[in-house]
Structure 1
């Protein structure tokens, strides 16, 4: 196999997989390039009754798989899990593959790495598994193998598919492969592999993957001996801005935590930050962030204190923050008025 840390020439972005031809293609392309909010809008339009009725069973399965991906990216694990029942009820090769991939992603989000591993490996044994839907199946399998004590097997799987990706000259798949290999084979210059993967993500036009790799590079650099270089903070600030703009709250929380490690505070993100919240959650947030206690918020809205606490706990989980103080910092002093 070629050295995975070596520089690479510019590689052509890959085309839309044949499976995604048709109505789902636009949403797939938006997810691939990292325009997540637009992808959400496109999927919502596809899933309206009049549109959903025109989708074939494979197209419906792919739309559900993309919806699971977007829900998990936004931190909406329960919503993502809610799609699994309807998805697994569909029959067909594409449908079964999509169901295994979605189930693996949801299990990983819940921290059930053994279940995630089994779903991803099952996906890899299915017909059509080599076709990249959202990500290659083995991209999920490798970290799941590592986290369940099967690091050597995970590293072998990553090396095998990195070699194939090198031959295919697909920058998106190769970037994912190098990221997985950096996780599984920490003896082979993981930082060098991540940097090459970041270059490839840029070539492929996938901004979300590029930002994820920036956060990986920053984390590994911060944890390494010595003082992080001056490029770390600007890299993280760009990632922070992108994650907030696109509503990727788990990623945003990770970036904010990394900024804190280098002595930098999160920047306020009022405005579109609230888009991910329900109207009821937004009402609670506005009052809580204005300085009212839970009891005062409950009295203002005519709800129970437990109801306020429940809404706030959901808000903290969605936004990836630990407390009311973090909420005020994140939203800033100027909150938009309620409609």
Structure 2
């Protein structure tokens, strides 16, 4: 955990925080001069058209295979396509797609709420806090979970069944992702129906209602009720594994920032983020989230430009002595499981020996 302010004034010369701000401004100027912040409208129009065709293919496949249990394979395919829609909704929310904010919001809301069935306004609220202070207690809700304990403070408060889960949470991580799709939909709807200050709440509700009405009507017209239930179950399970598996490597297992700690923007975004190597295939699989460091430094940068700015950011971090974390996808998952098990192990001990704690670290 990062407990204190690393940007306290130096004894001589300018403060480290001021130097980091100046350095980041210089990097931003170079990135802008290279045209990497320019919109990539054609790329996004092509990607939206591709997911629309893929969705049409799933619909056609369900129509043809409605008599067979093989139709459940298409439930998994539907989850993959709708997760890609959610990734595009994420890009629209960050104003990556088009030149106007209105066009980005419309595209993002339709893709997130209309296609994927998840509230755009709900996601914007929690994701904005995440970008403001990734992995910081009291700010980033992504480090809080009803089931998993991502940090010691959460683990210490577990009782009963949750305490049992915490002790084994590293090994339970992937099985629990099977429920994440359902959890996301429930959280989304609970926020919308709680009369909160979600922007354009009724638009999201209308889009989500339309999504489920079309989805379930289509299935019940073609499949018996048992197959409909199985189809929805497989869809939500695959959605949870895919979406959770894409988002978890970005920050889970990276340093946790204490409540109230002050960090300059550059270090706050880089030190708490993890990149995943693997090039274009991994980038497609993760919706560009594998370039998490670059995305956090330049959140409005179009997804297809992130790999281009990566060498600049990596060299910049090396020049300024800032740790730049990158690993493979299996390596990221190993780090996640190890971190969750470590938190669970500490929660298991009624007494933590300082020497043992040091050796563990």
- Report the TM-score when normalising by structure 1: 0.28
Q: Which has the higher contact order (CA 8 A, sep 6+)?
A: 2
Instruction: Indicate the structure (1 or 2) with the bigger Cα radius of gyration.
Output: 2
| TM, length-normalised to structure 2 | 0.26
